[in-house]
Structure 1
Amino acid sequence: MILQAMRAEFEHEVNSTRKLLEAVPEKDINYRPSPISWTMGELAQHIATIYYWYVGTLTLEVYDLAEDRLERGDPADIQATLELFEKNVELARKSLLGITEEDLQKEWTMKSGERIIMGPMPRGIVARGFLFNHLYHHRGEMIVYLRATGNKVPGLYGPTYETNPTRKRE
């Protein structure tokens, strides 16, 4: 039951993430709201990369970032990031379809070499926090970047101010 809901949420949110990434304009790809922030392109690439992490999270008991190499391309190339996103979504979907409810209860750990980064904890909790919620957090950041640069924000859960400017703010 939980897994069925996660799969449905995944599919719905993939479409929302795609709309958001497609809204990233090349003219503002190097926008950075502060010296310690990512550029808009780096943030978009990070969002696309989160989908890659589904594989290590859902198929391995111990995910070692030090052993995992993902070719991301140039973060200033939004088309390359969109291609990375689509490729990673397919990998994520395959991983999500390949697990069971019981797999969500299994212990999972993330490390980088010998350093433990996360876990051990049940894989289902990791999927919610590290994959789903992490993605939503960074999508919210991207919405701020888009608005700060005067770009339109696509509706992810209904119309936005930009798509319905006559609507009063509440």
Structure 2
Amino acid sequence: MSLIQSLLKEMDEESVTTRKMLERLPADKYDWQPHPKSMKLLRLATHIAELPGWVKMTLTTSELDTATFDYNPSPLKNNDELLAYFATTMAEGRSQLTAAVPEQLEEMWTLREGDVIHKTYTKAEVIRMVYSQIVHHRAQLGVYLRLLEVPVPGSYGPSADEY
């Protein structure tokens, strides 16, 4: 299996669990947050839903400069919009990755803040980091759901709510 095929397989597999988590958002708790430094529920879910689109960003750019990046999260109002947004970012990321060539994954990509370079990675490493970010934030969402008494779906097997 090629690296691109492997990344596509992982993207598809993780999307199933991610969608199950996003489907569970209680609409009456969108503004809830477990701590003042934590994202609100809908903001966290929106971030998770946008992350597959970062695969496209990675493959079509050579860097992200957080000092000049105009970040405006999509203003989603309900679960239907959230799931549609997730489907869109998945399709965009998957389409870009499907069209990629192996040499493209070896190109370097930089994360910077103005003149300060935080890290330079290959584009393949950035895509793996994007997947890790999805899993990381999905785990946060699982804690939010648990604290809100919403049954948490299993990720890599059944959850305590599925026994």
Aligning the two structures, in what range does the TM-score lie when normalised by the shorter sequence? 0.7 to 0.9
CA distance 1:116–1:94, shift in 2 (3 Å): farther
CA distance in 2, matches of 1:159, 1:42: 26
Show the 5 A alignment for 1:65-80: 66=68, 72-74=74-76, 77-80=78-81
Q: TM-score, normalised by structure 2?
A: 0.88
Matched, 1:83 2:81: no
**1:44 corresponding residue in structure 2:** 45
CA distance 1:70–1:36, shift in 2 (3 Å): closer
CA distance in 2, matches of 1:95, 1:148: 37
Give per-residue Cα distances to partners, 1:63-111, cap 9 Å, x unaligned: 456456666013x533322221111111111111111222111111234
CA distance in 1, matches of 2:151, 2:32: 15
CA distance in 1, matches of 2:147, 2:99: 40
Farther-moved stretch of structure 1 (138-147 vs 61-70): 61-70
CA distance in 1, matches of 2:70, 2:55: 13
Show the 5 A alignment for 1:3-22: 3-22=4-23
Give per-residue Cα distances to partners, 1:36-57, cap 9 Å, x unaligned: 1111111000101112211110
CA distance 1:18–1:115, shift in 2 (3 Å): farther
The answer to which structure, 1 or 2, has the higher relative contact order (CA under 8 A, 6+ apart) is: 2
CA distance in 2, matches of 1:2, 1:33: 38
CA distance 1:158–1:41, shift in 2 (3 Å): same
CA distance 1:15–1:122, shift in 2 (3 Å): same
Show the 5 A alignment for 1:14-163: 14-64=15-65, 66=68, 72-74=74-76, 77-111=78-112, 114-116=114-116, 118-129=118-129, 131-163=130-162
- Matched residues, percent identical? 29
Q: Which runs of 4+ in 1 moved over 6 A?
A: none
Query: How big is the alpha-carbon RMSD for the aligned residues of Structure 1 and Structure 2?
Result: 2.0
CA distance 1:116–1:22, shift in 2 (3 Å): farther
Farther-moved stretch of structure 1 (53-62 vs 85-94): 53-62
CA distance in 2, matches of 1:117, 1:49: 24
Unpaired stretches in structure 1, ≥5 consecutive residues:
165-170
Query: 3-state SS of the aligned residue for 2:80?
Result: helix
Note if contact 1:109-1:121 (Cα within 8 Å) is conserved in structure 2: yes
CA distance in 1, matches of 2:26, 2:54: 25
CA distance in 2, matches of 1:116, 1:88: 29
Q: TM-score, normalised by structure 1?
A: 0.84
Unpaired stretches in structure 2, ≥5 consecutive residues:
none
